[in-house]
Amino acid sequence: MDEATLRLYTEGNQARISGDYDAALPLLQQALECCPDSAQCWWALAHVLLNVGEFEVAIEHFEQSIRLEPGNARHIVDLAKSLEMLGEFDRARPLLEQAIEIAPGTREAEEARKSLSYYR
């Protein structure tokens, strides 16, 4: 990621964290256009889309972040939690199990275990 794209991403991600989705959305979209192979850009933009009610597009963005970084448990858990929020438990369960398998002993695995405990 070049310096200008990193600046866009950083500003957009800070706006996302602050809850300023109107500011975050165009910044992260621009960063993604410049760096379409960045799992972080897809993931951050997915969170913004989720928070502005673009649920299906957000899911697609989370899925792309995972295609780019299949071993990223944070991205997997966030996709699973988004699916749970939409009532898609059958799609979420294998993702939660996958997060536990690839990153046991992490905060993400603990979150996945907690979510799975509600399924039983």
pLDDT bracket for residue 1 (50, 70, 90): confident
Structure tokens at 93: 């369960």
Query: What would the pLDDT profile of 85-97 be if each residue is shown by its tens digit?
Result: 999 999 999 999 9
| Domain that includes residue 84, residue range | 70-120
Cα 91 to Cα 88: distance, rounded to the nearest angstrom = 6
In a domain, 3, yes or no: yes
Q: Which of 15, 34, 58 is the last residue of a domain?
A: 58
Residue 45 within a domain: yes
Token pair of 44 as six digits: 């951050």
Cα–Cα distance for residue pair 79/73, rounded to 1 Å: 10
